[in-house]
Structure 1
Amino acid sequence: MDRPPGLSVRVKLTLSYAGFLMLAGALLMAAVWVFLLRYVPDRALLTNAEDIPTGVFPVRSELLRIFAPRAAAVMALLLVFGLVGGWFLAGRMLAPLTRITHATRLATNGSLSHRIRLPGRKDEFRELADAFDTMLVQLEAHVAEQQRFAANASHELRTPLAVSKTLLDVARTDPNHDTGEVIDRLHAINTRAIDLTEALLLLSRANQRSFTREHVDLSLLAEEATETLLPLAEKHDVTIETSGDIAPTIGSQALLLQLTMNLVQNAIVHNLPEQGTVWVNTSVRPKTAVLTVENTGENISPRLVSTLTEPFQRSTERIHTDHAGVGLGLAIVKTITQAHDGTLTLTPRSAGGIRIAVELPATAPHTDR
Structure 2
Amino acid sequence: MSVRLRLTLSYAGFLMVAGVLLLAAVWVYLLAYVPDDWNQRMLYQNPNRQLLAYTFAPAAGAVLAVLLVLGLVGGWFLAGRMLAPLTRITAATRTAAHGSLSHRIRLPGRRDEFRELADAFDTMLARLEAHVAEEKRFAANASHELRTPLAVSRTLLEVARADPDRAAGDIIDRLHTVNNRAIDLTEALLLLSRAGRRSFARERVDLSLLAEEAAETLLPLAEERGVTVEVHGAIAPATGSPALLLQLTTNLVHNAIVHNLPGGGAVRVTTSVRPGAVELAVENTGAPLSPELVSTLTEPFRRGAERLRTHDAGVGLGLAIVETIARAHDGTLALAPRPDGGLRAAVGLPATPPADG
* TM-score greater than 0.5 by the shorter chain: yes
Q: Which moved more, 1:230-239 or 1:333-342?
A: 230-239
CA gap of 1:366–1:33, structure 2 versus 1, over 3 A, is closer
> 1:59 Cα deviation (Å)?
12
Cα distance per residue 1:272-319 (max 9 Å; x no partner): 222222111101111111111111222222222222111111112343
Pick from 198, 201, 204: which aligns with 2:190?
A: 201
Match in the other structure for 1:3:
none
CA gap of 1:41–1:314, structure 2 versus 1, over 3 A, is same
Pick from 14, 20, 37: which aligns with 1:20?
A: 14
Q: How does 1:17-166 map to 2 (within 5 A)?
A: 17-44=11-38, 61-166=50-155
> 1:45 Cα deviation (Å)?
8.9
Q: How does 1:1-369 map to 2 (within 5 A)?
A: 7-44=1-38, 61-366=50-355
C-alpha RMSD over aligned residues: 2.2
- Tell whether the 8 Å contact from 2:210 to 2:249 is kept in structure 1 after alignment: yes
The count of aligned residue pairs is: 357
5+ long unaligned stretches in structure 2: none
- Tell whether the 8 Å contact from 1:43 to 1:58 is kept in structure 2 after alignment: no
Find the aligned partners of 2:166 and 2:233 in 1 and give their Cα distance: 55
- Tell whether the 8 Å contact from 2:332 to 2:347 is kept in structure 1 after alignment: yes
- Match of 1:216, SS? strand
- Tell whether the 8 Å contact from 1:46 to 1:57 is kept in structure 2 after alignment: no
- Match of 2:106, SS? coil
> 1:60 Cα deviation (Å)?
10
Cα distance per residue 1:61-107 (max 9 Å; x no partner): 53433332222112111111110110111111111111111111222
Find the aligned partners of 2:47 and 2:25 in 1 and give their Cα distance: 22
Q: Which moved more, 1:227-236 or 1:358-367?
A: 358-367
Match in the other structure for 1:4:
none
- Tell whether the 8 Å contact from 1:43 to 1:59 is kept in structure 2 after alignment: no
Q: Which amino acid aligns with 1:280?
A: V
CA gap of 1:256–1:277, structure 2 versus 1, over 3 A, is same
Find the aligned partners of 1:175 and 1:249 in 2 and give their Cα distance: 57
> 1:20 Cα deviation (Å)?
0.6
Find the aligned partners of 1:17 and 1:294 in 2 and give their Cα distance: 68
Find the aligned partners of 1:294 and 1:153 in 2 and give their Cα distance: 28
- Tell whether the 8 Å contact from 2:39 to 2:52 is kept in structure 1 after alignment: no
- Match of 1:311, SS? coil
- Tell whether the 8 Å contact from 2:39 to 2:51 is kept in structure 1 after alignment: no
> 1:32 Cα deviation (Å)?
1.9
- Tell whether the 8 Å contact from 2:237 to 2:351 is kept in structure 1 after alignment: yes
- Tell whether the 8 Å contact from 2:260 to 2:285 is kept in structure 1 after alignment: yes
Cα distance per residue 1:29-65 (max 9 Å; x no partner): 2222222333322334979xxx97xx69899953433
5+ long unaligned stretches in structure 1: 1-6
- Match of 2:51, SS? helix
Find the aligned partners of 1:29 and 1:179 in 2 and give their Cα distance: 105
Find the aligned partners of 1:358 and 1:283 in 2 and give their Cα distance: 11
- Tell whether the 8 Å contact from 2:277 to 2:348 is kept in structure 1 after alignment: yes
**Which 4+ runs in 1 deviate beyond 4 A?**
44-47, 55-61
- Tell whether the 8 Å contact from 1:43 to 1:57 is kept in structure 2 after alignment: no
> 1:138 Cα deviation (Å)?
1.0
